[in-house]
Structure 1
Amino acid sequence: MTSQDPTTAQGSTPVVELVGAGFAYEDGPAVLSGVDFAVAEGRAIALLGRNGSGKTTLLRLLSGGLRCGSGSLRLDGAEVAYDRRGLTRLRTTVQLVVQDPDDQLFAASVAQDVSFGPMNLGLPEEEVRLRVSEALEALDIVALADRPTHLLSYGQRKRAAIAGAVAMRPRVLIMDEPTAGLDPHGQERLLDALRRLREGGTTVVMATHDVDLALRWADEAAVLAPSGLHTGPVADLLADDALLAAARLRRPWGTAVARLLRAHGLLGAGAAEPRTPEELDAFTGALVTE
């Protein structure tokens, strides 16, 4: 198992951290064992692995939805207590958005759904309204505030579900396959919303099968393989062919292009690698004008 030390990398204690964590469902084999996973402030982390590798289980452990069978969950360096007070503190710091928005949305309108979490915190009505307004604006769905949730498109439901988590003003937002089922335009709108959240100081962890998205979007990657959880800079991990094969992940498009450019002497050591077709167009255009 490989890992980096976010305390060293970021100069501070991780916001939330699994230490030696293991979990098995009732009457089943261990899904995760001995997992160390730390989420440092201000990072964008992509969690990758094949189906059944334990990604969703890891996210639920990290957010307190499941309790570690072994090891521990820590918040700001202190072990989380799974009582009312401890879980409330965790869930005002870490919010999980599940893959299917229909598992999360339940209120009659978007604004009512987004207000549910803040209202449960017992906040004053004015503060609840402010949080709902901020969350709707952050996800670019202000116009949908009064729309019945059952009349939303799939992409709109995704963003409404995320807005409900954002209204809790978490320091860490965890999402399970947030771009699954979205068309390219819907993906771009969601990524724009996530960029705004990150600019506002939110740390984002995203489970995804999309290695191209991970390479383009994330600072760091966490790859679940049979040998354990491997963490590090996203470009380094997604250039590790042996790790990708073990995790049953394909090589990202951007990594393949960068290797080709280097093989032909067109990309120097340490030069920024094009990670999207648009960046490749800009790169080749610059070569032509030189």
Structure 2
Amino acid sequence: MSEPALVALRGASFAYEDGPTVLSGLDFAIHEGRALALLGRNGSGKTTLMRLLSGGLRPREGRLTLEGRPVGYDRKGLTRLRTTVQLVVQDPDDQLFAASVSQDVSFGPLNLGLPDAEVRARVDEALAALDITALADRPTHLLSYGQRKRTAIAGAVAMRPRVLILDEPTAGLDPDGQERLLATLAGLRATGTTVVMATHDVDLALRWADDAALLTPSGAHTGPTAEMLARTDLLGQAGLRLPWGVPAARLLRANGLLAEDAAGPRTAEDLAAFAGAVAPPHG
């Protein structure tokens, strides 16, 4: 990609106190407008990487840049970063703490010192984006798991970040909840938010992401999703299996049913529609 990275780690290393090195000499970039899936085995450093990108952790070596400028870890620098990048952790109960949904979603904008009218506008906008306007006054402890997930994401969206980083956002959701969340993320992307999703679900990554980053012991390997998720060598290093859509596309191409440069099926519905289109007539 030729355009400069919106957010990037360069030569970044990190180790927790009295622990082994988690990341070493890592180069990682987020490009504006690209949906990015972050994949890797448990313990590969995905959560550490996300916290480094959002300013929750500071690299021991290397640097974090925002639009090419090094990020400062003073109040001014972190405010600049956190109004650009927001992280939503996997468990919403680690993020929700206020009495009601609207109070929780308003916390970030209030901390920015925004006028009350601006805070209300941001809260209303975030609740609408996550389709939880009707829950504004609901006590957070009475929410379902899926509603808590949406509220946690709304709190990040209310900061109007350019980059939204989500740690396993579909974990624990039923199929309908997953579909609703993906529709919400599509809406956020349409309004200009760049979304990064950490996931173990290679089929979801193939379906959803423009680019995939595989976190392996040799570093992060990033590229177009279909290309990266066909790399069985890197998938093995990352502790991941091949998504079903990759061999399905190979089979279609081998039988002359899909052009070499055409995108393969990304969902079961894609494959069913394709199969229907090429099925021989009866009679």
List, as ranges, runs of 4+ consecutive aligned residues in structure 1 with deviation greater than 6 Å: none
Q: What is the match of residue 143 of structure 2?
A: 152
| Alignment match, 1:27 | 18
User: Which amino acid counterpart does residue 204 of structure 1 have in structure 2?
Assistant: V
Shift of 1:262: 2.0
Deviation at residue 266 of structure 1 after TM alignment: 1.9
2:212 maps to 1:221? yes
Q: Deviations over 1:8-54 (max 9, x none)?
A: 1xx3x221110011101111111001111111111100000000000
Q: Residue 123 in 1 paired to residue 114 in 2? A: yes
Can you list the C-alpha shifts for 1:71-124, whole angstroms capped at 9, x where unaligned?
A: 000011110110011001100000000000000001111011000100111111
Stretches of structure 2 that go unaligned for 5 or more consecutive residues are: none
Does 1:77 pair with 2:68?
yes
Q: Which of these residues, 35, 46, 58, is aligned with residue 55 of structure 1?
A: 46
> What residue in structure 1 maps to residue 81 of structure 2?
90
Partner residue, 2:95 = 104
Residue type of the alignment partner of 2:12: A
* Alignment correspondent of 2:273: 282
Aligned mates of 2:254, 2:234 — CA distance in 1: 22
Report the Cα distance in structure 1 between the residues aligned to 2:148 and 2:22, rounded to whole angstroms. Answer: 30
Q: In structure 2, give the amino acid aligned to 1:19.
A: R
Pairwise CA distance, 1:264: 2.4
C-alpha distance in 1, partners of 2:280/2:9? Answer: 50
1:182 pairs with 2:173: yes
1:272 is displaced (CA, Å) by: 2.1
1:194 deviates by 0.4
In the alignment, the residues of structure 2 paired with residue 133 and residue 158 of structure 1 have an alpha-carbon distance, to the nearest angstrom, of 17
1:252 partner letter: P
CA–CA distance in 1 between the matches of 2:263 and 2:279?
Answer: 17
Secondary structure class of the residue paired with 1:133: helix
Instruction: Give the letter aligned to residue 200 of structure 2.
Output: H
1:118, 1:167 → 2: CA distance? 7
**What is the percent sequence identity of the aligned residues?**
74
Letter in 2 for 1:70: E
Residues 263-278 of structure 1: pairs in structure 2 closer than 5 A: 263-278=254-269
Structure-2 residue corresponding to 1:250: 241
Give me the whole-angstrom Cα distance separating, in 2, the residues matched to 1:57 and 1:247: 16
Q: How many residues align?
A: 281
Match of 2:9 in 1: 18
SS of structure 2 residue aligned to 1:273: coil
Map of 1:227-238 to 2, 5 A cutoff?
227-238=218-229
Structure 1 267/112 Cα, relative in aligned 2: closer, same or farther at 3 Å? same
Q: So what's the TM-score if we normalise by structure 2?
A: 0.97
State the Cα deviation string for residues 144-168 of structure 1 (Å, max 9, x = none).
1111111111011001000000000
Gaps of 5+ in 1: 1-5
The CA distance in 1 between the partners of 2:171 and 2:266, in whole Å, is 20
